[in-house]
């Protein structure tokens, strides 16, 4: 009957007494070389399956996700830097591929494959593995959606597998009924208007002037480096077609553009709405005569964005109906 302990004892005695010291050294060196080779081979195999995307492509070769990854912003990042799997899970996947013939990945149907904590490691904290990763720690857009609403990153940045930059009008998937209605604005990306620069993410005046203003405003916004200008800039044709406006720094009305313009309803203001705020203006000066008596609209005298009626404007417009009178006297009795 075979006795392994007896065999080990005989080998030990042979190694101790049956061979010379020189032979022992040679055998020991060969053994160490073999062990080192096996360890190195094991390390390389593990490193290959852990860090080389080619290992994943063995099974994902027919997967469209692989093709999209190769042209994505994360093409220099290994699969397992984001997709973490235990050794047991990896062995199960290898078994299914090698012995069961499973060569495709089943749809996940909304399953969170990459948790926010993984994205956080590069995009919130400094990570030497990703020195060029965009830091979103100062982004109000992300603070609102992630911290306040607790929306997983992949819900927006992975709705289509490995398409990390959200589509221009992706927001309307959740913000239903928030399409844009206005001449030339229907196709704009949501972040062409909404911005990281304001607390409530609504368009500030400067953001509207990106298209409706001059080159100076655009340069200032781009220099600010917020996500809405680094990822979503209107094309030159859109900027060129946009009506250019002049908003004097001393204009009496300093509120945001969206107070009058309602792009989610109609971009063009209803000038009758001026009375919503200026309720008592009808009783001031000659307003009653012009609005009620002559059926005039506010914008007939008050030019949008500058508002104040100047002497030069009065000499041009007011004299169409009557002789020139100083606009300063308008508010008198």
Domain range annotation of the chain: 4-51, 167-268, 271-329
Average pLDDT over residues 186-205: 89
Q: What percent of the chain has pLDDT over 70?
A: 92
| Spatial distance between the Cα atoms of 156 and 244, rounded to a whole number of angstroms | 34
Q: What is the pTM of this model?
A: 0.69
Query: Is residue 311 over pLDDT 60?
Result: yes
> So what's the pLDDT on residue 33?
93
Please tell me the chain's helix, strand, coil percentages from 3-state DSSP, rounded to the nearest 5: 50, 0, 50
> So what's the pLDDT on residue 147?
84
> So what's the pLDDT on residue 2?
60
> So what's the pLDDT on residue 108?
58
> So what's the pLDDT on residue 221?
93
> So what's the pLDDT on residue 271?
67
Average pLDDT over residues 142-160: 87
124 within 8 A of 133, measured Cβ to Cβ: no
Structure-block tokens of residue 191: 């972040």
Average pLDDT over residues 96-107: 72
166 within 8 A of 156, measured Cβ to Cβ: yes
> So what's the pLDDT on residue 212?
92
Bridge partners (DSSP) listed for residue 212: none
| Spatial distance between the Cα atoms of 74 and 68, rounded to a whole number of angstroms | 10
> So what's the pLDDT on residue 35?
93
> So what's the pLDDT on residue 275?
82
What residue has token string 């060196």? 29
* Average predicted confidence (pLDDT) for the chain: 83
Query: Is residue 204 over pLDDT 80?
Result: yes
């Amino acid at each position: 009957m075979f006795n392994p302990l007896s065999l080990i004892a005989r080998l030990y005695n042979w190694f101790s007494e049956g061979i010379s010291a020189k032979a022992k050294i040679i055998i020991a060196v060969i053994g160490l070389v073999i062990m080192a080779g096996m360890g190195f081979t094991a390390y390389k195999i593990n490193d290959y399956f852990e860090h080389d995307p080619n290992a994943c492509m063995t099974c994902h070769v027919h997967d469209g996700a692989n093709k999209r990854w190769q042209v994505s912003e994360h093409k220099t990042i290994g699969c397992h830097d984001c997709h973490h799997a235990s050794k047991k899970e990896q062995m199960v996947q290898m078994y299914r591929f090698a012995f069961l013939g499973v060569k495709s990945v089943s749809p996940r149907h909304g399953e969170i494959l990459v948790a926010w904590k993984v994205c956080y490691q590069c995009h919130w904290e400094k990570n030497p593995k990703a020195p060029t990763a965009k830091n979103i720690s100062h982004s109000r857009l992300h603070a609102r959606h992630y911290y306040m609403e607790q929306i997983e990153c992949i819900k927006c940045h992975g709705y289509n597998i490995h398409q990390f930059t959200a589509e221009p009008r992706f927001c309307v998937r959740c913000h239903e009924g928030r399409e844009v209605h206005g001449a030339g604005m229907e196709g704009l990306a949501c972040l062409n208007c909404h911005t990281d620069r304001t607390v409530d993410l609504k368009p500030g005046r400067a953001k509207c002037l990106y298209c409706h203003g001059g080159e100076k405003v655009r340069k200032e916004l781009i220099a600010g480096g917020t996500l809405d200008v680094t990822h979503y800039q209107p094309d030159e044709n859109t900027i060129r077609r946009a009506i250019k406006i002049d908003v004097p720094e001393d204009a009496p009305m300093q509120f945001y553009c969206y107070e009058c313009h309602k792009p989610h309803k109609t971009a063009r203001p209803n000038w009758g709405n001026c009375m919503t705020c200026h309720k008592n203006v009808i009783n001031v000066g000659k307003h009653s005569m012009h609005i009620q008596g002559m059926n005039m609209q506010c914008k007939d005298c008050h030019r949008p964005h500058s508002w104040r009626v100047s002497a030069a404007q009065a000499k041009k417009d007011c004299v169409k109906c009557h002789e020139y009178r100083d606009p300063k006297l308008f508010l008198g009795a």
